């Protein structure tokens, strides 16, 4: 549980709703997947940096985008699921490309 979940969802209501959606309505979407590919980050720790880079580029191009603090908060919404995907999905995916911190492929399964 990260700070956002601990502070803003102390009773687990949001986490429970997300899990219900993944176990319920999303199953119809998942059932349509014929081949599953995963581009796997080396760990969740790089995700904030990657998203911050994207926002900096967006701001340079459009003048709009999230601040670094807003990115850090935004990414926390996806931390639990991202960590679970990185741990669980490589064994289930038909093809996994492992990336390094610079987003370069370093291996595949």
Lowest mean pLDDT among 17-21, 65-69, 96-100, 105-109: 105-109
Distances (CA, A) of 78 to 34, 63, 73, 106: 25, 25, 10, 24
Residue 1 — very low, low, confident or very high, per pLDDT cuts 50/70/90? confident
**The model's pTM:** 0.84
pLDDT band at 108 (very low <50, low <70, confident <90, very high): confident
Distance in angstroms (rounded) separating the CA atoms of residues 109 and 107: 7
pLDDT tens digits, one per residue of 77-105: 999 999 999 999 999 999 999 999 999 99
* Average pLDDT value for residue range 64-77: 96
């Amino acid at each position: 549980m990260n700070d956002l979940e601990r502070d803003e969802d102390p009773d687990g209501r949001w986490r429970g709703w997300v899990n219900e959606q993944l176990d319920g309505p999303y199953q119809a979407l998942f059932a349509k997947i014929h081949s599953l590919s995963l581009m796997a980050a080396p760990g969740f720790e790089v995700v904030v940096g990657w998203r911050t880079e994207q926002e900096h580029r967006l701001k340079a191009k459009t003048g709009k985008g999230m601040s670094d603090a807003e990115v850090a908060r935004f990414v926390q919404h996806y931390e639990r699921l991202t960590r679970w995907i990185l741990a669980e999905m490589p064994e289930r995916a038909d093809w996994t490309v492992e990336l390094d911190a610079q987003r370069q492929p370093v291996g595949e399964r």
